[in-house]
Structure 1
Amino acid sequence: MSALVLLALCLLLGLLAARYASPPAGLAPALNWWVIQIALPALVLELIPRLQFDPHLWFLVVSQWLVFIGALALFHTLGKWLGWSRARIGALTLVCGLGNTSFVGYPMLEALQGREGLALGVVADQLGCFIMLSLGGVLVAVIYGGASASPRAVARKVLLFPAFLALLAGVVVGQLGGWPPMADEILHRIGATLTPLALFSVGLRLKLSLHRHQWLPVTLGLGWKLALAPLVMLGIGGALGMHGLLLTITVLQAAMAPMISAAILADQHDLEPDLANAILGIGILLSLLTVPLWNLLLS
């Protein structure tokens, strides 16, 4: 529960600082740079070498990829129909296709389903969301952000994304037996800065009083992330014969709030940062109610 309190507190501190403390103009971009370039790779380097994957858990991983692919298909189609900009389509795909399956997901899963549920949640997070952030997320950010979309330029952006490089390095380190205790502790301490700094940065830019033109994308985006995506995963899982705790954790991870790092990626590529941050902040607050409701339904 303390982890959830930390999320709300850091978000609130950012809101208060923006309103009363007159922070430097470049503070939020500087914090975002640290999160994406330093803290996120450190977290990946810490966690990936520890991960042991059971082939029977494949649906946990694939479900997170399907949530992202579904968001891309949905918002690309809706965006064309509603006349949205490419930046808006990209922002919605990132923040509503990638879930906060670790910083919100881990404490929620442990509270709702215990340590056994948390262990399954780690698989969905590390091999599902983190990989999709490093591959699909960067791909969407580059293409919809207006950068050079030549195959070579896109491939270079993806392959040089710090979290993707950390993912590859983490796999190698895991095969070699893991990090020495001192290195593991250093990575843990650096990675631990991600959540407070990222949410403080989001709070600096968060505006809960949305413009009229933002209400529809916020509603559609969170409608997918908090309601429709978990419902789709429940239907697919049931059709494939999944059941019990495996299906429950799959659905709960699909129902988690938008991913913090995805909102920062949208910010760095100028994909409607105000909209992305609003969806993130509102989504985190709403998920504290909707995820327990999903758990109640599944139980």
Structure 2
Amino acid sequence: MDSLLLIPSCLFLGFLVARFASPPKDMAPALNWWVIQIALPAIVLELIPRLSFNIDLWYLVISQWLVFIGAAIVFQLIGSWLGWSRARIGALILVCGLGNTSFIGYPMLEALRGREGLAFGVVADQLGCFIMLSVGGVLVTAVYGGASTSASAVAKKILLFPAFIALIIGLIVGQLGGWPDQIDSILSRIGATLTPLALFSVGLRLRLSLYKYQLMPVMIGLSWKLLLAPLAILGLGSAFAVSANVLSIAVLQAAMAPMISAAILADQNDLEPDLANAILGIGIVMSLFTVTAWHLLLP
């Protein structure tokens, strides 16, 4: 419960500071740099070596990939039809294709489904959603962010993404038996800064009202992330006769709020950051209710 209370607390604190404390103009970009370059890789280096995977859990991984791929297809089609800019399409793919399957997902799963549900959720997060952030998310920033889209440029951007480098190192360390306790403790403490700093940064730019031009993309984006994507994962898993426990966690993780790190990537690559942050803030609040509703509907 403390973890869930941290989320609105940090958002609200950032909101208050932005309006009453006159923070430095470059505070949010500086915090975002720390989150992407330092804190996120630290979390990956800590968690990946501990991860164990059973082939029976394949749907937990595939489901998170499908949410992202589905978002890419849906928002490209809708964006082309409505005449949206490439930056807007890219922002929606990032924040509505990638879920907050760890910082919101972990405490919610533990509260709703117990320790077994949390263990399944870690697999969906690290091997599913996180790999999509490291590969698909970086690919989206390259394609929609105006940077060079040659194969070599995109590959270089993915391979040099700090969290992707941490993923490779973490896999190697896991095969060698994991980190010594002292290093593991340091990584844990550094990684623990991600959630409060990222949410505080979002709060600095959070607006309680939307511009008229933002209303439709916010509604469409959150309809996919909180309703249609988990519904698709439920239907597909049922068709493949996925076990009830695995299917429930896959659906709940698919239904989680938009990913904080994805919104920061959108910000850093100028993919309509105001819209990305609006979707993130509203999505976090709404997901606390919609994920609970999904939990009550699932086995």
Give the TM-score range, shorter chain.
over 0.9
Percent of aligned pairs with the same residue?
73
- 2:150 matched residue in structure 1: 150
- 1:218 matched residue in structure 2: 218
- 2:71 matched residue in structure 1: 71
- 2:105 matched residue in structure 1: 105
| 2:202 aligned with 1:202 | yes
Within 5 Å, give how 1:131-210 maps onto structure 2: 131-210=131-210
Report the number of matched residues.
299
- 1:244 matched residue in structure 2: 244
- 2:87 matched residue in structure 1: 87
Shift of 1:208: 2.3
Question: Which whole-Å deviations, capped at 9, do the CAs of 1:151-170 have from their partners, x for residues lacking one?
Answer: 11111000000000000000
Within 5 Å, give how 1:255-274 maps onto structure 2: 255-274=255-274
Structure 1: distance between partners of 2:141 and 2:225 = 18
Shift of 1:86: 0.2
Question: Which whole-Å deviations, capped at 9, do the CAs of 1:83-114 have from their partners, x for residues lacking one?
Answer: 00000000000000000000000000001000
Shift of 1:42: 0.4
Shift of 1:150: 1.1
Question: Which whole-Å deviations, capped at 9, do the CAs of 1:99-146 have from their partners, x for residues lacking one?
Answer: 000000000000100001000000000000111100000000111000
- 1:283 matched residue in structure 2: 283
- 1:13 matched residue in structure 2: 13
The alignment's TM-score, normalised by the length of structure 2, stands at 0.99
Shift of 1:221: 0.3
Structure 2: distance between partners of 1:276 and 1:228 = 19
- 1:235 matched residue in structure 2: 235
Structure 2: distance between partners of 1:248 and 1:154 = 35
Consecutive unaligned residues in structure 2, runs of 5 or more: none
Structure 2: distance between partners of 1:139 and 1:207 = 29
Structure 1: distance between partners of 2:166 and 2:252 = 27
Structure 1: distance between partners of 2:289 and 2:241 = 28
Question: Which whole-Å deviations, capped at 9, do the CAs of 1:25-66 have from their partners, x for residues lacking one?
Answer: 000000000000000000000000000000110000000000
* Amino acid in the other structure paired with 2:27: L
Structure 1: distance between partners of 2:188 and 2:197 = 15
Structure 1: distance between partners of 2:145 and 2:206 = 21
* Amino acid in the other structure paired with 1:31: L
- 2:28 matched residue in structure 1: 28
Shift of 1:147: 0.6
- 2:48 matched residue in structure 1: 48
Shift of 1:206: 1.1
User: Post-superposition, which runs of at least 4 consecutive aligned residues in structure 1 deviate over 3 A?
Assistant: none
Structure 1: distance between partners of 2:222 and 2:128 = 20
SS class of match (1:101): coil
* Amino acid in the other structure paired with 1:179: W
* Amino acid in the other structure paired with 2:7: L
Within 5 Å, give how 1:109-128 maps onto structure 2: 109-128=109-128
SS class of match (1:53): coil
Shift of 1:243: 3.0
Structure 2: distance between partners of 1:237 and 1:218 = 27
Structure 1: distance between partners of 2:50 and 2:298 = 29
* Amino acid in the other structure paired with 1:176: L
- 1:130 matched residue in structure 2: 130
Q: Once superposed, what is the RMSD of the aligned Cα atoms?
A: 0.5
Structure 1: distance between partners of 2:17 and 2:148 = 36
SS class of match (1:25): coil
The alignment's TM-score, normalised by the length of structure 1, stands at 0.99
Consecutive unaligned residues in structure 1, runs of 5 or more: none
* Amino acid in the other structure paired with 1:117: G
Question: Which whole-Å deviations, capped at 9, do the CAs of 1:169-222 have from their partners, x for residues lacking one?
Answer: 000000000000000000000000000000000000111211001000000000
SS class of match (1:57): helix
